[in-house]
Amino acid sequence: MSKEDKRTPPPAPEPLPAPAVDAHTHLDACGAREAEQVRAMVDRAEAAGVGRVVTVADDLDSARWTVEAAGWDERVHAAVALHPTRAKDFGEHERATLRELAHAPGAVAVGETGLDYYWDFSPPEPQQEAFRWHIALAKEVGKPLMIHDRDAHEDIVRILDEEGPPETVVFHCFSGDAEFARRCVDAGYVLSFAGTATFRNANARGLREAAAMVPAEQMLVETDAPFLTPHPFRGKPNEPYCVNYTVRDLAELRGEDVAELAVATTRTAERVFGLDPAGVR
């Protein structure tokens, strides 16, 4: 793919036959910084049938921004946390700020938090300490915990067991195989699938097997935009409207009707994040 091709976003798809929710995106990282830009980006998503988005923070500035953005547009909801790769900088100021933001009306989740053993920006110990703190915060505010899990399945599950999980746990951009998915489903956790679940390479085989077997009532769809653009547009810029492609691909994988999967995952999102079924907070 040429540099020019990589800069060209995927085409606007035919609208979904039923509305979907992008359960995890980063509108600020996609380039939407002002209210007008946010509205334009969500308008593009809604035109594709993706009527609501959860925009997720990875540091304090982003956390403040997501809560502010949730006030600009009723289709936008916020999740706040410090990303595990930034956990070495997790002090009292960060904790106090995140606690205040997590109580904000526009914040619907504590995330993304968890463990990332792929990158070496933060050692495991501060990551695990921060993860435990975020678990406690999710319980305190009564909002779902949104987990980032990269090469850390066993420690994630162990710490959840040790601390006692909050009522709702979401594995964002689920990256396990069918066996790990079954363990998470049996524990009552919700699994959110991004564009990686549509990839066709050998490494995605186990993930696609997981996506095929998760009950719809424990399943979400997401973009993680601007990253992880779904097949067949891998490597191009990602935006919330591209959830459309993921829903269609997963419906085919699961042998389900596209509308039925969109409705089912939207119901899951409404339950998990406390969204009004009419789409108005």
Nearest to 229 by CA among 196, 192, 200, 258: 196
pLDDT at 3: 58
**Quick one: angle between helices 243-254 and 258-273, nearest 10?**
120
Binding residues: 24, 26, 112, 148, 172, 224
- Tell me the backbone φ, ψ of residue 229, rounded to 5 degrees: -60, 135
CA–CA distance, 123 with 244 (Å, rounded to integer):
37
Which structure tokens are listed for 210?
A: 């997981």
Q: Do the domain assignments include residue 254?
A: yes
CA–CA distance, 157 with 253 (Å, rounded to integer):
27
pLDDT at 205: 95
Q: Tell me if 247 sits within 8 A of 265, measured CB to CB.
A: yes
Q: How many domains would you assign to the chain? A: 1
Whole domain around residue 102: which residue ranges? Answer: 20-273
The predicted-structure confidence for 129-164, as pLDDT tens digits, reads as follows 999 999 999 999 999 999 999 999 999 999 999 999
- Mean pLDDT of the residues in the chain: 95
Q: pLDDT at residue 280 above 50? A: no
Which structure tokens are listed for 135?
A: 């678990």
The predicted-structure confidence for 166-179, as pLDDT tens digits, reads as follows 999 999 999 999 99
Alpha-helical (H) ranges within the chain are 3-7, 35-47, 60-72, 92-102, 124-141, 153-163, 178-186, 205-213, 243-254, 258-273
Q: Do the domain assignments include residue 105?
A: yes
Q: Do the domain assignments include residue 111?
A: yes
Q: Do the domain assignments include residue 135?
A: yes
User: Domain of 56: which CATH number?
Assistant: 3.20.20.140
Judge if the upstream peptide bond of residue 240 is cis by omega within 30 degrees of 0. no
Q: Do the domain assignments include residue 14?
A: no
The predicted-structure confidence for 14-47, as pLDDT tens digits, reads as follows 999 999 999 999 999 999 999 999 999 999 999 9
Tell me how long the chain is.
Answer: 281
Strand partners, 52: 21
Binding residues for a divalent metal cation: 24, 26, 112, 148, 172, 224
Q: Collapsing DSSP states into helix, strand and coil, what is residue 23?
A: strand
Q: Do the domain assignments include residue 64?
A: yes
